[in-house]
């Protein structure tokens, strides 16, 4: 890229932090590019907060119909809850929003480079796409918005089938009959709520003394009461040493 084509800003990472920053920079008149190695919209729009909220909405309706239907005047002889339909709907919601991000990139004249970005110098980002060919992009400024990775317990192998992270879990259309969720933070309790609403036997394991350990104690206590009523087993103050599948 010649000097007159150099960017004012290259953003590495196209999640909510990255694409919003890129849009604002472009609106302020900066020639902007964004580099993303996997998904436009990042984890949040593709396999995180957006599809999980869609599934939680389905779970809320399922729980209401199953446990409180008569209270609202609904009577079912044979209520059928199809989890696969809920997952398909969550993918449709996710896909629609991802397309929206792509539209915003075009609208704001932001160049999108799909591939892995590496900072080679203070003014150079090298992007390697799926074809394996590296391309050097010149820039005056670089913004890192690369997100985070799932912590995997040492010695535990993620096989993508019986032992999964949230990424595999949120894409699976088959409802597990029983499941152990390691970690009772925001993601853990979301999946506990979703799977339990559709009839799965759920056990939450948390190393710290309470579920939602980073939230207010009152919130943890209230959710624990709800989970007790719904039959979700909570093992707080328990450390996972290993995992065996059967």
Interatomic CA distance for residues 59 and 66, integer angstroms: 10
Domain extent listing, the chain: 1-150, 175-236
pLDDT in tens, 200-234: 999 999 999 999 999 999 999 999 999 999 999 99
Q: What is the DSSP letter of 4?
A: G
Interatomic CA distance for residues 113 and 122, integer angstroms: 19
Q: Do domains 1-150 and 175-236 have the same CATH topology?
A: yes
pLDDT in tens, 182-202: 999 999 999 999 999 999 999
Cβ 142 vs Cβ 10: under 8 Å:
yes
Nearest alpha carbon to residue 58 among 19, 92, 108, 32: 92
pLDDT in tens, 49-108: 999 999 999 999 999 998 888 888 988 888 899 999 999 999 999 999 999 999 999 999
CATH code, residues 1-150:
3.50.50.60
Burial 18-44 (b: 16+ CB within 10 A, else e): bbebbbebbeeeebbbbbbbebbbbbb
The predicted model gives 17-31 an average pLDDT of 98
Helix H or strand E segment including 205: strand 201-206
DSSP-assigned states of every residue in 134-179? EEEEEBS-EEE---------TT----SSSS--HHHHHH--SPPSEE
Domain spanning 175-236, CATH class: alpha beta
Specify the pTM: 0.89
């Amino acid at each position: 890229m010649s000097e007159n084509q150099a960017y004012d800003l290259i953003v590495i990472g196209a999640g909510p932090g990255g694409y919003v920053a890129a849009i604002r920079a472009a609106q302020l008149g900066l020639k902007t590019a964004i580099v993303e190695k996997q998904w436009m919209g990042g984890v949040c729009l593709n396999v995180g907060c957006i599809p999980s909220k869609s599934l939680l909405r389905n779970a809320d309706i399922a729980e209401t119909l199953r446990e409180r239907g008569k209270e609202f005047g609904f009577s079912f002889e044979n209520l059928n809850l199809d989890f696969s339909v809920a997952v398909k709907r969550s993918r449709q919601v996710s896909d629609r929003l991802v397309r929206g991000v792509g539209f915003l990139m075009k609208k704001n004249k932001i160049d999108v480079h799909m591939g892995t970005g590496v900072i080679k110098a203070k003014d150079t980002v090298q992007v390697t796409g799926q074809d394996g060919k590296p391309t050097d992009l010149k820039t005056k400024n670089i913004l890192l918005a690369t997100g985070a990775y799932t912590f995997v317990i040492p010695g535990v192998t993620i096989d993508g089938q019986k032992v999964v992270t949230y990424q595999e879990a949120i894409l699976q259309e088959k409802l597990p009959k029983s499941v152990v969720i390691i970690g009772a933070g925001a993601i853990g309790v979301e999946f506990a709520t979703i799977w339990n609403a559709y009839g799965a036997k759920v056990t939450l394991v948390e190393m710290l003394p309470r579920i939602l350990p980073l939230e207010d104690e009152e919130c943890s206590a209230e959710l624990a009461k709800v989970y007790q009523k719904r039959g979700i087993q909570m093992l707080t103050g328990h450390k996972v040493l290993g995992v065996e599948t059967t």
